[in-house]
């Protein structure tokens, strides 16, 4: 995982500082430690790079990395870059068979400074260089020895070039223009260099490149043959990360939902029809997603079943290998992802591609790897989501999935009307008074150590999503259950005062809530009408089949305040990253 950024230039002599700046824009990929190396220096620090003002001896070349720890704890030694003799590198991904190679090198008498898999790659490249002095073939040979997904950016002492290679983990080249015409940028994602250029080359899997200033040559990683690449102009504008009047991105993005729901479903009838025809073309749809997007996908399972009579099989992408025998040319693989870069999903899509399955996706990043690998893709257009905990992207995913379910049943207009209504109700709902009230509810929960959430039907996945939201930002243990399931075990945990959030007010859910209340639970109801059972009531608009989208909004605000009242940073919770590009 992690963010990588590098610069090779003829005339920029503050490459180190600029790499630090670019990495600050990739912090969502990991923020536990960071490091930057130029030709003559290497700085590595534990903590967030956003706090850094590091300066470097003037240099035209630098490589850097912002880390989310996989192998080895959060220490300066384990942070990247890693250097062994002439080789300095940064690595994003996982080198799965690193231990056997490390043991072999240890037996040869080599020593390691870190616990990482990445440092072993530096040793392997050096081993090859000792044999041939040819860096290109050294990297090719090492790539053959490595299993797993990776992108690497390598500097060799005494050489001007930067060498890069990709298998699975994203890597994009930015071609400098105007005053940066003699400069090339290398990054795991476009925002790192968007202030300099919007002309890019995507490095695809099993490709490598050798970069010297503006001179960039691409090669097949296996054969070494030269590849020609088209320059692609991306339409992105640099979205300035601006919290505006808000204290954190999370609450800003929650309030962005006043507009984002409308943009999510603002596709033409033709675009929707084309997507639906691809969805209908197969014989079996598997929806793959992770984390919050997975919970939005379970909601979609309910939408498609109840609105269109279609069974969608929703599987967390990391579990999909257990069902891989069902992936064939008849299968539709439907990926739901905010970032479009999640490794667990990409792995399955790669397999689907090989087997001739149809690949559909919805993402928030149109230039992402998932969008590019897809046969049909629809953007959710939520706008940049900076906070690690997903809010507006989640509801945008659900809105688009709900619309697609209506379209699948030839009722696109009915879906559009429903979602327009929802968008306008959400616009009214999200106001400072509502926020203040939910904050006061959060104050009553601040000392609790467990929260249970129940919901039925499409509110069941929202119970799961609510639990994730509360846990990831407030670190309070929270667990979501299907409303009818509490009595089959978890009810044993209910004591006097245990907070239980009840999503919905249909009679069956209310009966289940009653069972909890009878055992002492404090009930926080999320519904469009109040109920005598509710000790506290979080009001939502009446939203029909879109109730799942409406219900999650107050929980997002509640989670935000549970975090901030505890003095936590909801934008960058501990141990997490926004874009997870390792399995």
Q: Is 426 in the site for ligand G6P (CB under 6 A)?
A: no
* 152 vs 388, beta carbon nearer ligand G6P: 388
* 381 vs 578, beta carbon nearer ligand G6P: 578
Q: Is 388 in the site for ligand G6P (CB under 6 A)?
A: yes
Nearest CA-CA partner of 345 in 366, 365, 370, 372: 370
Nearest CA-CA partner of 501 in 550, 547, 461, 536: 536
Nearest approach, Cβ of residue 523 and ligand G6P (Å): 28
Q: Is 339 in the site for ligand G6P (CB under 6 A)?
A: yes
* 291 vs 499, beta carbon nearer ligand G6P: 291
Q: Which of 295, 469, 517, 578 is catalytic?
A: 578
Q: Which residue minimizes CB distance to ligand G6P?
A: 291
Q: Is 373 in the site for ligand G6P (CB under 6 A)?
A: no
Nearest approach, Cβ of residue 388 and ligand G6P (Å): 5
Q: Is 391 in the site for ligand G6P (CB under 6 A)?
A: no
Nearest approach, Cβ of residue 390 and ligand G6P (Å): 4
Segment 282 to 311, residues that bind ligand G6P, using CB under 6 A: 290-293
Nearest CA-CA partner of 169 in 239, 83, 65: 65
Is-catalytic flag, 85?
Answer: no
Q: Are 142 and 317 in contact (CB under 8 A)?
A: no
Q: Is 140 in the site for ligand G6P (CB under 6 A)?
A: no
In whole angstroms, what separates CA 222 from the centre of its chain? 29
Q: Is 338 in the site for ligand G6P (CB under 6 A)?
A: yes
Distance CA 554, CA 434 (A): 9
- What is the DSSP code string of 166-185? EEBS--EEEE--GGGTTEEE
Q: Is 552 in the site for ligand G6P (CB under 6 A)?
A: no
Q: Is 469 in the site for ligand G6P (CB under 6 A)?
A: no
Distance CA 137, CA 153 (A): 15
Name the one range near ligand G6P by CB under 6 A: 80-88, 107-115, 164-172, 331-339.
331-339
Nearest approach, Cβ of residue 464 and ligand G6P (Å): 12
Name the one range near ligand G6P by CB under 6 A: 219-227, 336-344, 372-380, 544-552.
336-344
Q: Are 114 and 42 in contact (CB under 8 A)?
A: no
CA atoms within 13 A on the CB side of 462: 28
Is-catalytic flag, 578?
Answer: yes
Nearest approach, Cβ of residue 192 and ligand G6P (Å): 17
* 23 vs 290, beta carbon nearer ligand G6P: 290
Tell me the sheet residues that pair with 212: 215
Nearest approach, Cβ of residue 124 and ligand G6P (Å): 30
The answer for residues whose C-beta is within 8 angstroms of residue 404's C-beta and 6 or more apart is: 272, 275, 276, 279, 300, 304
Q: Which of 2, 290, 500, 505 is catalytic?
A: 2
Nearest approach, Cβ of residue 376 and ligand G6P (Å): 18
Burial class (CB in 10 A: 0-12, 13-18, 19+), 230: exposed
- What is the DSSP code string of 203-247? PPTTEEEEEETTEEEEEETTT--EE----EE----------TT-S
Q: Are 50 and 25 in contact (CB under 8 A)?
A: no
In whole angstroms, what separates CA 363 from the centre of its chain? 10
Nearest approach, Cβ of residue 370 and ligand G6P (Å): 8
Q: Is 396 in the site for ligand G6P (CB under 6 A)?
A: no
Q: Is 395 in the site for ligand G6P (CB under 6 A)?
A: no
Pairing of strands 215-220, 226-227: antiparallel
Per-residue 3-state assignment (H helix, E strand, C coil) for 543-558: CHHHHHHHHHHHHHHH
Q: Is 118 in the site for ligand G6P (CB under 6 A)?
A: no
In whole angstroms, what separates CA 52 from the centre of its chain? 24
Count of residues in contact with ligand G6P, rule CB under 6 A:
14
CA dihedral 10, 16, 18, 22 (to 10 degrees): 120
Name the one range near ligand G6P by CB under 6 A: 67-75, 76-84, 126-134, 574-582.
574-582
Nearest approach, Cβ of residue 293 and ligand G6P (Å): 4
Q: Is 390 in the site for ligand G6P (CB under 6 A)?
A: yes
Name the one range near ligand G6P by CB under 6 A: 50-58, 183-191, 512-520, 575-583.
575-583
- DSSP label of 304: I
Which residue in 578, 581, 582, 583 binds ligand G6P (CB under 6 A)? 578
Q: 46-81: buried (b, 16+ CB within 10 Å) or exposed (e) per residue?
A: bebbeebebebeebbbbbbbbbbbbbbeeeebbbbb
The answer for residues whose C-beta is within 8 angstroms of residue 530's C-beta and 6 or more apart is: 537, 539
* 63 vs 187, beta carbon nearer ligand G6P: 187
* 292 vs 376, beta carbon nearer ligand G6P: 292
Q: Is 149 in the site for ligand G6P (CB under 6 A)?
A: no
Which residue in 155, 210, 580, 582 binds ligand G6P (CB under 6 A)? 580
Which residue in 342, 369, 396, 457 binds ligand G6P (CB under 6 A)? 342
Nearest approach, Cβ of residue 299 and ligand G6P (Å): 14
Q: Is 533 in the site for ligand G6P (CB under 6 A)?
A: no
Binding residues for ligand G6P, per CB under 6 A? 290-293, 337-339, 342, 388, 390, 576, 578-580
Looking at the annotation, which residues are catalytic? 2, 578
């Amino acid at each position: 995982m992690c963010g990588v950024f590098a610069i090779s230039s003829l005339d920029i002599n503050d490459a180190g500082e600029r790499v630090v700046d670019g990495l600050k824009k990739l912090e969502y990929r990991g923020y536990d430690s960071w490091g930057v190396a130029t030709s003559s220096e290497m700085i590595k620090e534990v903590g967030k790079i956003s706090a850094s003002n590091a300066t470097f001896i003037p240099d035209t070349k630098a490589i850097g990395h912002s880390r989310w720890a996989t192998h080895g704890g959060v220490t300066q030694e384990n942070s990247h870059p890693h250097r062994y003799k002439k080789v300095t590198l940064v690595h994003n991904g996982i080198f799965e068979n690193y231990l056997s190679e490390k043991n072999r090198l240890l037996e040869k008498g080599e020593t390691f400074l870190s616990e990482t898999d990445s440092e072993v790659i530096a040793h392997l490249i050096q081993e090859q260089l000792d044999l041939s002095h040819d860096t290109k073939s050294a990297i090719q040979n090492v790539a053959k020895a490595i299993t797993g997904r990776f992108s690497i950016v390598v500097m060799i002492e005494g050489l001007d070039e930067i060498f890069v290679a990709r298998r699975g983990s994203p890597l994009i080249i930015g071609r400098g223009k105007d005053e940066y015409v003699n400069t090339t940028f290398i990054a795991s994602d476009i925002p790192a260099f968007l202030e300099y250029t919007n002309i890019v080359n995507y490095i695809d899997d099993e490709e490598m490149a050798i970069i010297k200033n503006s001179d960039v040559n691409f090669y097949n990683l296996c054969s070494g043959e030269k590849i020609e690449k088209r320059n692609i102009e991306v339409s992105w504008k640099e979205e300035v990360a601006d919290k505006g009047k808000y204290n954190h991105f999370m609450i800003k993005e929650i309030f962005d939902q006043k507009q984002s729901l409308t943009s999510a479903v603002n596709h033409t009838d033709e675009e929707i029809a084309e997507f639906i025809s691809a969805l209908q073309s197969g014989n079996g749809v598997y929806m793959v997603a992770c984390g919050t997007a997975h919970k939005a996908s379970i909601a979609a399972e309910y939408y498609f079943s109840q609105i269109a009579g279609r069974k969608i099989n929703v599987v967390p992408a990391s579990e999909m290998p257990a069902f891989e025998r069902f992936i064939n040319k008849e299968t539709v693989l439907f990926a739901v992802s905010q970032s479009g870069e999640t490794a667990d999903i990409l792995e399955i899509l790669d397999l689907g591609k090989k087997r001739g399955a149809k690949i559909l996706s919805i993402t928030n990043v149109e230039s992402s790897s998932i969008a590019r690998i897809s046969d049909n893709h629809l953007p959710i257009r939520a706008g940049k989501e900076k906070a690690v905990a997903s809010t507006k992207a989640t509801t945008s995913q659900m809105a688009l999935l709900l619309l697609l379910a209506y379209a699948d049943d030839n009722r696109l207009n009915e879906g559009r009307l429903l979602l327009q209504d929802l968008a306008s109700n959400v616009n009214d709902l999200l106001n400072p008074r509502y926020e203040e009230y939910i904050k006061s509810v959060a104050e009553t929960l601040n000392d609790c150590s467990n929260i249970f959430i129940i919901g039925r039907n499409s509110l069941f996945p929202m119970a799961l999503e609510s639990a994730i939201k509360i846990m990831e930002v407030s670190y309070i243990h929270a667990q979501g259950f299907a409303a009818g399931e509490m009595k089959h075990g978890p009810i044993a945990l209910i004591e006097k005062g245990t907070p239980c959030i009840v999503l919905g007010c249909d009679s069956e859910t209310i009966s289940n809530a009653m069972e909890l209340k009878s055992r002492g639970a404090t009930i926080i109801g999320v519904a469009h009408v109040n109920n005598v059972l509710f000790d506290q009531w979080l009001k939502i608009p009446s939203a029909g089949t879109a109730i799942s989208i409406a219900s999650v909004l107050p929980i997002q605000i509640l989670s935000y305040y549970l975090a901030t009242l505890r003095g936590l940073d909801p934008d960058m919770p501990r141990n997490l990253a926004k874009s997870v590009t390792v399995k």
